[in-house]
Amino acid sequence: MQRVKTATAIAEKPAYSAGGTPGYFRSGDAVAATPPTVPGQDWFNMIQEEIVNVILAAGFTLNPAADTQLRDAIEALIVEFAPSPGAATTSAQGIVELATNAETIAGTDTVRAVTPAGVKAAIAANGVSLETILMYS
């Protein structure tokens, strides 16, 4: 990404005009003598600066040879600002590791979680059906 650098570009961004009504682009109609919407310097400068500001906020330097700077900047900002959940507890949501069948059968692990399907699989791996356990409970 690089700011515009043609022969007609200027060194400083001009102040935005105060006039006009915000709206939408339209196609022209030569038969009805309706001109198409012409974006103008304000719109082009706004779009350019919105993109540049994302790239700079990610700590990148504008590079005219890089065509993926906006994408890379968005990815970097997501990584930087996305919450990183900690371990789950009985009172807080978080990241959980599921127990293996052996850990489920041992019943001594206080860190890993077990799903209903995991309980059923661990019981079945021990040669007992869940239905039999429930029938005698």
Residue 80: which residues within 8 A CB-CB, separation 6 or more? 58
The type of residue at 116 is P
> What is the pLDDT at residue 46?
96
Q: Please name the helix (run of DSSP H) or strand (run of DSSP E) that holds residue 16, with its range, or none.
A: none
CB atoms near residue 89 (< 10 Å)? 9
Q: 137: pLDDT confidence band, cut at 50, 70 and 90?
A: low
Q: Which long-range contacts (CB under 8 A, 24 or more apart) does 35-43 make?
A: 41/14, 42/16, 42/17
- Give per-residue pLDDT as tens, 23-46: 999 999 999 999 999 999 999 999
